Amino acid sequence: DAGVIQSPRHEVTEMGQEVTLRCKPISGHNSLFWYRQTMMRGLELLIYFNNNVPIDDSGMPEDRFSAKMPNASFSTLKIQPSEPRDSAVYFCASSGQGYFANYGYTFGSGTRLTVV
Protein backbone atom coordinates (compact mmCIF):
# COMPACT_ATOMS: atom_id res chain seq x y z
CA ASP A 1 0.00 0.00 0.00
CA ALA A 2 1.30 3.49 -0.82
CA GLY A 3 0.11 4.86 2.49
CA VAL A 4 -2.17 7.84 3.00
CA ILE A 5 -1.90 10.09 -0.01
CA GLN A 6 -2.52 13.81 0.22
CA SER A 7 -2.59 16.41 -2.52
CA PRO A 8 -1.36 18.94 -3.17
CA ARG A 9 1.85 18.95 -1.11
CA HIS A 10 2.04 22.72 -1.21
CA GLU A 11 -0.64 25.31 -1.91
CA VAL A 12 -0.20 29.06 -2.08
CA THR A 13 -3.36 31.04 -2.59
CA GLU A 14 -4.67 34.53 -2.20
CA MET A 15 -6.99 35.54 0.57
CA GLY A 16 -10.61 34.99 -0.40
CA GLN A 17 -9.92 32.10 -2.76
CA GLU A 18 -11.36 28.64 -2.34
CA VAL A 19 -8.91 25.89 -1.35
CA THR A 20 -9.55 22.15 -1.64
CA LEU A 21 -7.30 19.60 0.01
CA ARG A 22 -7.56 15.95 -0.94
CA CYS A 23 -6.87 12.68 0.82
CA LYS A 24 -6.85 9.01 -0.10
CA PRO A 25 -6.75 6.79 2.99
CA ILE A 26 -5.27 3.32 3.27
CA SER A 27 -7.45 0.64 1.76
CA GLY A 28 -9.27 -1.25 4.50
CA HIS A 29 -9.10 1.55 7.05
CA ASN A 30 -12.53 2.67 8.16
CA SER A 31 -11.70 5.91 9.99
CA LEU A 32 -10.33 9.11 8.51
CA PHE A 33 -9.13 12.21 10.33
CA TRP A 34 -8.18 15.74 9.32
CA TYR A 35 -5.66 17.56 11.52
CA ARG A 36 -4.14 21.02 11.31
CA GLN A 37 -0.66 21.79 12.66
CA THR A 38 0.68 25.22 13.53
CA MET A 39 3.51 26.36 15.76
CA MET A 40 1.11 28.22 18.03
CA ARG A 41 -1.62 25.61 18.44
CA GLY A 42 0.14 22.34 17.70
CA LEU A 43 -1.86 19.48 16.20
CA GLU A 44 -5.59 20.11 16.21
CA LEU A 45 -8.20 17.56 15.21
CA LEU A 46 -10.63 19.24 12.82
CA ILE A 47 -13.03 16.43 11.90
CA TYR A 48 -13.17 12.68 11.70
CA PHE A 49 -15.19 10.17 9.73
CA ASN A 50 -16.09 6.59 10.51
CA ASN A 51 -17.30 4.43 7.63
CA ASN A 52 -17.58 7.61 5.53
CA VAL A 53 -19.91 9.30 8.03
CA PRO A 54 -18.78 12.48 9.85
CA ILE A 55 -18.73 11.65 13.55
CA ASP A 56 -17.29 14.75 15.17
CA ASP A 57 -16.65 18.10 13.51
CA SER A 58 -16.35 20.10 16.70
CA GLY A 59 -12.80 21.02 15.79
CA MET A 60 -13.72 22.74 12.55
CA PRO A 61 -12.85 26.38 13.15
CA GLU A 62 -15.83 28.00 11.48
CA ASP A 63 -18.31 27.72 8.67
CA ARG A 64 -15.65 28.51 6.11
CA PHE A 65 -14.37 24.96 6.60
CA SER A 66 -16.18 21.92 5.26
CA ALA A 67 -15.20 18.29 4.75
CA LYS A 68 -16.68 15.44 2.79
CA MET A 69 -16.06 11.75 2.36
CA PRO A 70 -18.12 10.56 -0.60
CA ASN A 71 -16.64 7.06 -0.50
CA ALA A 72 -14.18 4.93 1.43
CA SER A 73 -11.21 5.96 -0.69
CA PHE A 74 -11.50 9.73 -0.89
CA SER A 75 -12.01 12.77 1.30
CA THR A 76 -11.77 16.53 0.79
CA LEU A 77 -11.30 19.47 3.12
CA LYS A 78 -12.47 22.76 1.67
CA ILE A 79 -11.86 26.28 2.88
CA GLN A 80 -13.99 28.99 1.35
CA PRO A 81 -13.09 31.82 1.55
CA SER A 82 -9.52 31.33 2.75
CA GLU A 83 -7.83 33.74 5.15
CA PRO A 84 -4.16 34.26 6.09
CA ARG A 85 -4.78 32.71 9.54
CA ASP A 86 -5.66 29.44 7.81
CA SER A 87 -2.01 29.06 6.84
CA ALA A 88 -0.83 25.77 8.34
CA VAL A 89 0.08 22.20 7.51
CA TYR A 90 -3.02 20.07 7.09
CA PHE A 91 -2.67 16.34 7.70
CA CYS A 92 -4.99 13.53 6.82
CA ALA A 93 -4.74 10.25 8.74
CA SER A 94 -6.55 6.94 8.63
CA SER A 95 -6.93 4.03 11.00
CA GLY A 96 -8.66 0.67 11.08
CA GLN A 97 -10.12 -1.94 13.34
CA GLY A 98 -9.25 -5.55 13.93
CA TYR A 99 -5.84 -6.31 12.43
CA PHE A 100 -5.15 -2.60 11.96
CA ALA A 101 -6.11 -1.62 15.49
CA ASN A 102 -2.66 -2.12 17.01
CA TYR A 103 -0.88 0.05 14.50
CA GLY A 104 -2.22 3.47 15.36
CA TYR A 105 -2.94 6.05 12.77
CA THR A 106 -1.18 6.37 9.44
CA PHE A 107 -0.56 9.96 8.47
CA GLY A 108 -0.13 11.45 5.05
CA SER A 109 2.76 13.77 4.25
CA GLY A 110 0.54 16.81 4.70
CA THR A 111 -0.43 19.84 2.65
CA ARG A 112 1.39 23.05 3.49
CA LEU A 113 -1.11 25.84 2.90
CA THR A 114 -0.04 29.46 2.66
CA VAL A 115 -2.71 32.12 2.27
CA VAL A 116 -1.34 35.52 1.27
Partner 1 sequence: SQQGEEDPQALSIQEGENATMNCSYKTSINNLQWYRQNSGRGLVHLILIRSNEREKHSGRLRVTLDTSKKSSSLLITASRAADTASYFCATEGNTGKLIFGQGTTLQVKP
State phi, psi for 87 to the nearest 5 degrees: -60, 125
Helix (H) or strand (E) holding 47: strand 42-50
Choose the stretch contacting partner 1; rule: CB under 8 A; options: 19-27, 41-49, 61-69, 72-80.
Answer: 41-49
Q: Which of 19, 48, 77, 96 binds partner 1 (CB under 8 A)?
A: 48
Count of all residues that appear for the chain in the document: 116
Among 32, 60, 88, 108, which residue interacts with partner 1 (rule: CB under 8 A)?
Answer: 108
Residue 109 binding partner 1, by CB under 8 A? yes
- Which residues, 6 or more positions from 116, have their beta carbon under 8 angstroms from its beta carbon? 12, 13, 14, 15, 84
Looking only at the bridges linking them, the beta strands covering 88-95 and 74-79 are: unpaired
Choice from 18, 38, 51, 55 touching partner 1 (CB under 8 A): 55
Residues contributing to the site for partner 1 (CB under 8 A):
4, 31, 33, 35, 42-43, 45, 48, 50, 55-56, 91, 93, 95, 102-110
